Chains A and B, each alone.
Chain A
């Protein structure tokens, strides 16, 4: 909120009717490099808080006029993320508990040492930072939600607009000397865009389905071997024109995982088709399955463009797509990995990625193995949910 908070020294407001207390707090805090302002009663203190938007408020509970309790509730009314530390001369646990119930962050009984004040202030400021960060993320999510509609409609309209325009221009170029060749090429391009759009809608529906309920309808022992084989077969159509080799090792014994077979297929389809799409011509995609303790590990690695570190945190976000620097993006809406992430989470597993720009990426999915005792706790929570 207070934009200065980010880079300037933290601002601390001290409200206490005792001049000696105000002076010593100020001395201790100034020495630590904080910007400190002191006020002698609740009313002035509230006015100061309003004006300075401090990172931390230290308030005496017992003051003439407006009490410390009232200061707490009024400060929190205007800034729910405010961090308030109370100091009290009649330090009974009861008053402290009351103040905490009213929303204070912590309390400091008088008399206190400079170090005690310093420690509680540092903790309070850390708390403030976390609260502001949480609030910023909440605002960001809200903004995203609002922009979502615009974004989705753009994603849906773009391929349609491209197809519409091809057809419209074709109609106007009827006596075009390159007509036949151009028509053939454009029909292909139109088909690609229509397929892209169908895939987008399909993925979109999948994600919406997961939003409301579990996509995984069951959790049964599944042998990944035939699914891997069939997904690789499916993706061969994509890979062959680019000269990309698809490889997998025979799946060893004991690699049954607890999953929904349909979900497992969707998950692998997304990972393998990405590995093909973001590969280089003549590259390679490898799929490995093995048992690692109580889990089954599925690894899909490619020799493609890789993902630079800065993008890794967003990789599993909806609509996020990696673009090669300077080049055009790959077709797709950026929903595939969001789907992977949700499926894996639902199945009580996890997904990790390691990547080296220009070298390739490796996605590693760990799912609970069938009959593995160590996987039970997370499964139970899922059943209960």
Chain B
């Protein structure tokens, strides 16, 4: 039987991580945290999350895109490629616009995109559906 859904939060805002952690733990999720993109990548093997929650603007204004791209395309993270990434940012602008301006559109488009502050019911529903997708793709040989 499947254990608790594991979520890795990659965000440099301590307060964002604290409130999301409390919310998710109250709903039975297992939560891991990373305060930077690099730390997030480092923690992947140890946490093996079902879903990654990833902030866009951290050290640089587009750090999250790079991290998403690393997870999805870099050979060394191949085994984590199936993990759905939920990107979050307080910028209201639709990321599709940003992505369509970039050359490698499909390489950086996140699986899900939410804006801060999170709309709690929508956020939880998104996580559930991401976790479902993760479990399904994770069981496929690949």
Contact = CB atoms under 8 A, between A and B. Distances in A.
A binds B: yes
Interface of A: 147, 150-151, 153-154, 157-158, 160-166, 168-169, 172-173, 176, 182, 186, 189, 193, 323, 326-329
B16 A169 contact: no
Contact of A154 (B12, B22, B91): B91
Contacts, number: 73
Interface stretch (B46-54, B65-73, B114-122, B131-139): B114-122
Given A147-B61, A154-B89, A158-B13, 18 more contacts: A157-B116, A158-B90, A158-B116, A161-B117, A162-B15, A165-B16, A165-B19, A166-B15, A166-B18, A166-B19, A168-B117, A168-B118, A173-B22, A173-B26, A176-B22, A176-B26, A327-B35, A328-B36
Nearest to A326: B36
B116 to A, nearest CB: 4
B57 interface: yes
B59 interface: yes
A193 B20 CA distance: 16
A163 B22 CA distance: 14
A161 B90 contact: yes
Contacts of B117: 160-162, 164-165, 168
B26 A328 contact: no
B70 to A, nearest CB: 17
24 contacts: A154-B61, A158-B13, A160-B117, A161-B16, A161-B117, A162-B15, A162-B16, A162-B117, A163-B15, A165-B16, A165-B19, A168-B19, A168-B118, A168-B120, A169-B19, A172-B23, A173-B22, A176-B26, A189-B18, A193-B15, A323-B59, A326-B38, A328-B35, A329-B12
Majority secondary structure, A binding face = helix
Contacts of A173: 22-23, 26
A182 B22 contact: yes
A163 B118 CA distance: 11
Contacts of A189: 15, 18
B93 interface: yes
Contacts of A166: 15, 18-19
Contacts of A165: 15-16, 19-20, 116-118
A172 B91 contact: no
B14 interface: yes
A176 B23 CA distance: 10
Contacts of A150: 91, 93
Nearest to B118: A165
A172 B61 CA distance: 31
Contacts of A161: 16, 90, 116-117
A169 B22 contact: yes
Nearest to A323: B59
Interface string B93-117: 1000000000000000000000011
Nearest to A331: B14
Nearest to B124: A172
